[in-house]
Structure 1
Amino acid sequence: MLLIQFVTESQERRVGILQDTTVRVIDGYATTFDLARAAIAQRCGLAQLADSAAGSDTIDYETLAGEGRILPPLDHPDAAHCYVTGTGLTHLGSADTRDAMHQKIGGDIAALSDSMKMFRMGVEGGKPDTGSAGVQPEWFYKGDGSIVRATGQDLEMPAFSLDGGEEPEIAGLYLIGDDGQPYRLGYAIGNEFSDHVTERQNYLYLAHSKLRNCGLGPALLVGALPAHVAGVSRIIGADGQVRWEKHFVSGEQNMSHTLENLEHHHFKYGLFKRAGDVHIHFFGTATLSFADGIQVAPGETFEVASPTFGPALRNRLAVHESPYATVTAL
Structure 2
Amino acid sequence: MTYLRLLQHRTTDGVRSVILAEGDAAHVLLGVTSVRELALRAIAAGETLAETAKACKQGEAVDIRGEFEAGRLLAPIDHEDPAHLILSGTGLTHLGSAEGRDKMHREAMASEKPTDSMRMFLEGLEGGKPAPGEVGQQPEWFYKGDGSQLVGPHDPLLMPAFAKDGSEEPEVAGIYIVAEDGTPYRIGFALANEYSDHVTERHNYLWLAHSKLRQAALGPELLLGPAPAGIEGTSRILRDGKTLWEKPFLSGEANMSHTIANLEHHHFKYGLFCRPGDVHVHFFGTATLSFSDGVTTLEGDVFEISAFPFTLPVSNPLARAEERAVAVRAL
Please say whether Structure 1 and Structure 2 have the same fold, judged by a TM-score greater than 0.5: yes
Pick the TM interval, shorter chain.
over 0.9
- 2:145 corresponding residue in structure 1: 143
Map 1:47-86; keep pairs closer than 5 Å. 47-86=50-89
Structure 1 residue 287: Cα displacement? 0.1
Query: Cα RMSD over matched residues?
Result: 1.2
Counterpart residue identity of residue 234, structure 2: V
- 2:322 corresponding residue in structure 1: 321
Structure 1 residue 10: Cα displacement? 2.9
For this pair of structures, how many residues does the alignment match? 328
SS at match of 2:329: coil
Percent identity over paired residues: 52
Map 1:14-33; keep pairs closer than 5 Å. 14-20=17-23, 22-33=25-36
Which piece of structure 1 moves more, 6-15 or 139-148? Answer: 6-15
- 1:12 corresponding residue in structure 2: 15
- 1:115 corresponding residue in structure 2: 117
Structure 1 residue 54: Cα displacement? 4.2
- 2:284 corresponding residue in structure 1: 283
Map 1:1-330; keep pairs closer than 5 Å. 1-20=4-23, 22-104=25-107, 107-109=110-112, 111-237=113-239, 239-330=240-331
Structure 1 residue 212: Cα displacement? 0.5
SS at match of 2:200: helix
Which piece of structure 1 moves more, 14-23 or 287-296? Answer: 14-23
Whether the 8 Å contact between 1:188 and 1:216 is mirrored in structure 2 is: yes
Deviations 1:278-308 (A, max 9, x none): 0000000000000000011101100000121
> In structure 2, do the counterparts of structure 1 residues 149 and 39 end up closer, same or farther at CA, with 3 Å as the change threshold?
same
SS at match of 1:103: helix
Whether the 8 Å contact between 1:16 and 1:54 is mirrored in structure 2 is: no
Structure 1 residue 94: Cα displacement? 0.6
Structure 1 residue 20: Cα displacement? 4.7
TM-score w.r.t. length of structure 2: 0.97
SS at match of 2:13: coil
Deviations 1:171-204 (A, max 9, x none): 0000000010000001000000000000000000
CA distance in 1, matches of 2:109, 2:226: 46
CA distance in 2, matches of 1:105, 1:309: 38
Q: Which runs of 5+ in 2 are unaligned?
A: none
CA distance in 2, matches of 1:73, 1:56: 19
SS at match of 1:159: coil
TM-score w.r.t. length of structure 1: 0.97
SS at match of 2:165: coil
Counterpart residue identity of residue 220, structure 1: L
Whether the 8 Å contact between 2:231 and 2:309 is mirrored in structure 1 is: yes
Whether the 8 Å contact between 2:65 and 2:312 is mirrored in structure 1 is: no
CA distance in 1, matches of 2:149, 2:108: 35
Structure 1 residue 55: Cα displacement? 0.7
CA distance in 1, matches of 2:110, 2:255: 30
SS at match of 1:84: strand
